[in-house]
Amino acid sequence: MQSISETIRNSGVIEIRDRLSSLSGGRVLDVGTQHGSFITVMMKSMKDYEAFVGIDISEKDLEKARDAVPDDSVEFRIMDAEDLKYKNDSYDTVCLSYSLHHLENVDIVLGEMMRVLKPGGHLILQEMYSDGDQTDAQRTEILEHHLGARIDRVEGIPHYDTFSRQQLKDIVNGLGLSSVEVYETAWSLKCLYCENSHQCEDPRSEYNLEFGREEIQRILDRAKDHSEMDDVQDEARLLLERVENTGLHSASLLFFICKK
Ligand SMILES: C[S@@+](CC[C@H](N)C(=O)[O-])C[C@H]1O[C@@H](n2cnc3c(N)ncnc32)[C@H](O)[C@@H]1O
């Protein structure tokens, strides 16, 4: 593990890692796995595990996942999370990381995840939120994220505004779990294992500014293909100015560790 700065140490993310390190994962299902990065983080953070399965609806993303996580205990499968091809009570742990606001039908997917989770098993969910006491640099990231989601939707890709803290709590509390622990942090678990995390600390570091500029430029380029989206181009230009003033920092997130 990298040496961890005071800022990250005091953010609440260490408590999440410590709690996970007391949990045995057993058979773990990661829904909306994309490139498998949450699987890598969970492998490093949990006390132990038997095997991981990562599912996603995008084969292109799964190809990257197979390259990124070449491990015999990990399998990646193309599957719609709205129709999981697994029996009831077949997983010890089910995970959803940064994917909730990418789902067309949140209730159906969470219902499926609850169905395949064994009684006594764990649901792990992390998701950034849009409101609360966040810095200007974090708000820039949220605005950039929401603008990117608008382009995705125009191109037929489900992607919505991120939820508020209360909406996230209501969604999880509505699942009928036997216990729900909620953690909050502005730093993701993966930052604990990233050798570049120190570069993310200053929102106005060249590393963060360049990242922000590139992301917003990508949105601008995509918006140019959609003449009906002139307002998105205008917003992207304003965001390019905003990022120079505020810098960029990842939005805060809620991390749920729940027992069925
Ligand atoms: C932001 S990415 C997930 C990031 C990843 N979990 C991580 O923590 O790095 C959201 C993913 O959800 C996937 N997704 C969206 N709807 C889905 C569905 N119905 N079934 C399976 N995957 C879905 C998308 O293809 C995308 O790869």
- 189 in ligand 1 pocket by Cβ < 6 Å? no
Backbone phi, psi, residue 238, to 5°: -65, -40
**Inter-residue long-range contacts of 102-110, CB under 8 Å, 24+ positions, other chains counted:** 102/32, 102/158, 102/159, 102/160, 103/32, 103/158, 104/158, 106/171, 108/82, 109/31, 109/81, 109/82, 110/171, 110/175
Dist. CA 123–CA 113, nearest whole Å? 8
Amino acid at 47: K
Q: Which pair of tokens denotes residue 3?
A: 């040496």
Pocket test of ligand 1: the residue of 44, 53, 56, 59 to mutate, having most ligand atoms within 8 Å of its CB, is: 56
Q: Is 40 in the pocket of ligand 1 (CB under 6 A)?
A: no
Specify the length of the chain in residues: 260
pTM for this one? 0.96
Q: Pocket of ligand 1, candidates 28, 34, 159, 256: which has the most ligand atoms within 8 Å of its Cβ, to mutate?
A: 34
pLDDT at 48: 98
CATH number of 6-259: 3.40.50.150
Q: Does ligand 1 come within 6 angstroms of the Cβ of 108? A: no
Q: What amino acid occupies position 192?
A: L
- Ligand 1 atom closest to Cα of 37? 9
Q: Which amino acid is at 103?
A: L
Distance CA 58, CA 92 (A): 24
The pLDDT assigned to 141 comes to: 97
Residues 6+ away with beta carbon under 8 Å from 66: 36, 76
Gap between the Cα atoms of 99 and 32, Å rounded = 6
Which residues of the chain are under the pLDDT cut of 70? 1-2
Task: Name the phi and psi angles at 66, rounded to 5.
Answer: -65, -35
pLDDT, residue 2, reads 58
Nearest-atom index, ligand 1, CA of 102: 15
Q: Tell which one of 16, 29, 60, 99 to mutate to probe ligand 1, the residue whose CB is within 8 A of the most ligand atoms.
A: 99
| pLDDT score at 114 | 98
Could you tell me which of 15, 13, 14, 76 has the C-alpha nearest to residue 40?
76
CA of 103 to the centre of ligand 1 (A): 8
Q: What span, in angstroms and rounded, lies between the C-alpha atoms of 160 and 49?
A: 33
> 249: Cβ below 6 Å to ligand 1?
no
For residue 196, the model assigns a pLDDT of 83
CA of 80 to the centre of ligand 1 (A): 10
Alpha helices (H) along 74-189: 106-116, 136-154, 165-173
